[in-house]
Amino acid sequence: MPAGDSTAPDATTVDARPVTVPGTEVAGTDDPAPAAPAARATDRRSRAAAAVQAWAGAAARERLLRVVAPLDARGHHVVPDAPGGSRRARPAVTVVGPAGVHVVATTTWPVGDDGVTPEVTEELFSLADRAYRTEAELAELGLAPGEVRALAVVVGREGVDERVGPVRVVGERDVLRVVEARGRRLTGTQAATLRDHLLASTARPEAGPALPGPRPEPAAEVVSSVPPVAPAPVTGVAPAASEAVDVEPWMTWLDPAQAHAVRRSCNGPSRIRGAVGTGKTVVALHRAAYLARARQGAVLLTTYTRTLPATLRPLLARLAPDVADAVEVAGVHEVAARVLAERGVACRIDASLITAAWTTAWGQVGAGSVIDDEDHDQVYWHDEVTHVIKGRGLTRFEQYAMLPRRGRRHQLDGPTRRVVWDLHEAYARGLADRGVHDLADQVALAQAELAARPEPGRYAAVVVDEVQDLSTVALRLLHGLVGDAPDGLTLVGDGQQTVYPGGFALDEAGIDVGARTTVLDVHHRSTAQVLQLASTLVAGETFPDVDGTEQTGDAHAPVLRQGPSPVWVRCANEVDRTARLVRHVQELVTAGVPLGQVGVLALSRAGADHAVQQLRRAGLNVVRLEQHDGSDVDAVRVGAVKHAKGLELAHVLLADVAAEWLDRSPGGLDDVARERREHRRRELYVAMTRARDGLWVATV
């Protein structure tokens, strides 16, 4: 078909050409009817116009069906769109198949240099709106929002590939290639489910216009995972093992609460929470991509853990190649460092000088004082200074004297707090004397810098994963980047997995999430057996949630996936434990488990170092988690639990667990011992729940 045909009349253009439409009694302008009264003439004219419009609509539909015929021939389902949209909307079809969902319409896209006319703008806007409505409808079943694409086709053309907002404009002869280039994303069962749903919905009347834009906030305090319309059972459309797709299953198919959380529109900062393995990181990735598509400007996806961004970056590139460049994935310290560098603010981080500053301060203030007791080690006071004091950005002793110290069980009296404050000041002097800053200073400097000279356009939105690990100052920094803008700040996390003792509440950082919280409750990672053992560690325990309340963990739906029982070995001594650990890794390798799917996690650095040494001695390839760049290297992952946050492995071995940490009720513990034990057990809980299939714990 010639290029010029793209401007042929269609349903949006009332053309008065003299055409006789078969099956109608209405003729064109040379109607030989005898002269009649004016009213009858007007009536005839309007009936003629309607008939021509109907004809033109039918022709446009036919043309559209010709455009998608090659897809039909390749096994994609073509579903006619429901009537609706704007009066001038072109007919559209939804193509559902292995390559995802495409809402397709033809366009009068300009051929020459005329630019985009208002008519084309309206066509594309209308198509984007149809795709948006389809996305909303299919999200109820769990289809990931990014899977619905809007395709405007220039009839008779080849080699056209333009993007106008969310709409991709392609030539007719490019359609098949463009669609199939997306690879195999949906299983046959999923595609058929979507087709049936769309076919059923085309039969029902439109729910009225639903243009993209601000949507009303829900009245409920917490949005439950139950979608507004009962979805098809997730299990019914989840990919079966025999129907492999080219992408990770979660990239295209979400559970309904996840899909809701990704698309939810909020008039201010919002929160997404859920127990371990409920897909929070998955949702964070989807939401970052979703916001990048919906907005002008960059989106920041950030987290506290330095190692997690390296894992997230390649996932995002696969999930959303179309917007991967618009999403910056960076740890919060990386963001702070960048801000300072851009503004020429000096900030020198030097680990050995930082340690020297601490050691000197401890010698000057801590050693021999009331805080130098048997109950607390220096790590406790270091955490108190860096997380509790500096993490909040406290500047005066009076602030610290009154602080509730949420999450720290051991109460400190006034004189003790005074000593801790003196220690903090001595440490600060020590850093200054050496011309260095620690990581808490780095974030505080960047936060102060941005507060003094804001940069409102830097990011269109910020999505924070593992928010429970951030400090108050880090949250202020991130909040400062986007403020309370609609959908500006999305906080994702689980207070039960807190492994740093800052204990902050969102209001300390000036953040109010109001009723804008979504709770995820389908566990997607571990077997029921792994989860059951891990859950005993936190059952009945409370933790200070970022909403300022004391919480027990979020519940999740029963886990159906079954696997072997976790192994708990009681070893005679350390030598015995190491030998068994190495042997178990070797057994997994012999059983065909890839080395990269085995993780050895430790609670202490010494435990991780020892495991690395012994595994290497046995000839096994090892990569330290803190040095891992997220690539798919064939080596056992070894590291501290802190570095395993957000990660998962098929098999997890715990290298340095003390038997008493697993003991349910030791009794008679004072506050300090109780706090330490709770902290340990929370870390163990995080470590164990990194395992998808196998868990091995050895105690001495």
Ligand X SMILES: Nc1ncnc2c1ncn2[C@@H]1O[C@H](COP(=O)(O)OP(=O)(O)OP(=O)(O)O)[C@@H](O)[C@H]1O
Q: Which residues bind ligand X (CB under 6 A)?
A: 248-250, 253-255, 258, 274, 276-282, 494, 497, 524-525, 646, 648, 689
Quick one: 85 or 279, whose CB is closer to ligand X?
Answer: 279
Least separation, in Å, of the C-beta of 645 and ligand X? 7
List the structure tokens of 310: 């390296």
Name the DSSP letter for residue 521.
-
Cβ atoms < 10 Å from Cβ of 232:
15
Quick one: 165 or 249, whose CB is closer to ligand X?
Answer: 249
Quick one: 648 or 675, whose CB is closer to ligand X?
Answer: 648
Least separation, in Å, of the C-beta of 263 and ligand X? 14
Least separation, in Å, of the C-beta of 278 and ligand X? 4
Least separation, in Å, of the C-beta of 253 and ligand X? 6
What is the separation of C-alpha 345 from the centre of its chain, rounded to a whole number of angstroms?
Answer: 32
List the structure tokens of 523: 């566990």
Least separation, in Å, of the C-beta of 533 and ligand X? 15
How many whole angstroms separate alpha carbon 90 and alpha carbon 7?
Answer: 12
94 among the known binding-site residues?
Answer: no
Quick one: 110 or 249, whose CB is closer to ligand X?
Answer: 249
Quick one: 610 or 679, whose CB is closer to ligand X?
Answer: 679
Quick one: 76 or 628, whose CB is closer to ligand X?
Answer: 628
List the structure tokens of 102: 């495409």
* DSSP reduced 3-state for 348: coil
630 among the known binding-site residues?
Answer: no
Least separation, in Å, of the C-beta of 370 and ligand X? 38
Least separation, in Å, of the C-beta of 140 and ligand X? 14
Quick one: 408 or 524, whose CB is closer to ligand X?
Answer: 524
**Is the Cβ–Cβ distance between 127 and 90 less than 8 Å?**
yes
List the structure tokens of 381: 């006071």
Quick one: 285 or 323, whose CB is closer to ligand X?
Answer: 285
Least separation, in Å, of the C-beta of 601 and ligand X? 13
Where does residue 233 rank: exposed (0-12), middle (13-18), buried (19+ CB within 10 A)? exposed
List the structure tokens of 509: 């950082």
- Smallest CA-to-CA distance from 479 within 514, 445, 509, 452 is with 509
279 among the known binding-site residues?
Answer: yes
Quick one: 255 or 449, whose CB is closer to ligand X?
Answer: 255
How many whole angstroms separate alpha carbon 427 and alpha carbon 375?
Answer: 22
Q: Are strands 100-106 and 92-97 parallel, antiparallel or unpaired?
A: antiparallel
Quick one: 254 or 446, whose CB is closer to ligand X?
Answer: 254
Q: Which residues is 149 bridged to in the sheet? A: 102
278 among the known binding-site residues?
Answer: yes
Instruction: State residue 459 phi and psi, 5-degree precision.
Output: -130, 145
3-state helix, strand, coil in the chain (%, to 5): 45, 15, 40
Please state the three-class secondary structure of 212-265 as a single string: CCCCCCCCCCCECCCCCCCCCCHHHHCCCCCCCCCCCHHHHECCHHHHHHHHCC
Least separation, in Å, of the C-beta of 560 and ligand X? 13
Least separation, in Å, of the C-beta of 620 and ligand X? 24
Least separation, in Å, of the C-beta of 644 and ligand X? 9
Q: Are strands 92-97 and 77-80 parallel, antiparallel or unpaired?
A: antiparallel
Quick one: 12 or 497, whose CB is closer to ligand X?
Answer: 497
Quick one: 174 or 648, whose CB is closer to ligand X?
Answer: 648
**Is the Cβ–Cβ distance between 57 and 11 less than 8 Å?**
yes
495 among the known binding-site residues?
Answer: no
How many whole angstroms separate alpha carbon 281 and alpha carbon 273?
Answer: 10
**Is the Cβ–Cβ distance between 149 and 57 less than 8 Å?**
no
Quick one: 58 or 136, whose CB is closer to ligand X?
Answer: 136
How many whole angstroms separate alpha carbon 78 and alpha carbon 591?
Answer: 45
**Is the Cβ–Cβ distance between 229 and 196 less than 8 Å?**
no
463 among the known binding-site residues?
Answer: no
Least separation, in Å, of the C-beta of 255 and ligand X? 5
Q: Which helix (H) or strand (E) holds 342?
A: helix 332-342
Query: 353 CB contacts (<8 Å, ≥6 apart)?
Result: 431, 434, 435, 436
Query: Whole-angstrom distance between the N-terminal and C-terminal Cα of the chain?
Result: 78
156 among the known binding-site residues?
Answer: no
Query: 384 CB contacts (<8 Å, ≥6 apart)?
Result: 408, 420, 501
Q: Are strands 691-699 and 461-465 parallel, antiparallel or unpaired?
A: unpaired
Name the DSSP letter for residue 386.
I
Quick one: 276 or 513, whose CB is closer to ligand X?
Answer: 276
Distances in whole angstroms, Cα of residue 47 to Cα of each of 9, 13, 222, 530, 599: 18, 15, 54, 71, 74
Least separation, in Å, of the C-beta of 280 and ligand X? 3
Least separation, in Å, of the C-beta of 502 and ligand X? 18
Query: 276 CB contacts (<8 Å, ≥6 apart)?
Result: 494, 496, 497, 523, 525, 526, 531, 534, 685, 686, 689
280 among the known binding-site residues?
Answer: yes
> Which residue's entry shows tokens 């021939």?
73
- Annotated binding-site residues read 274-281
- Annotated binding-site residues for ATP read 274-281
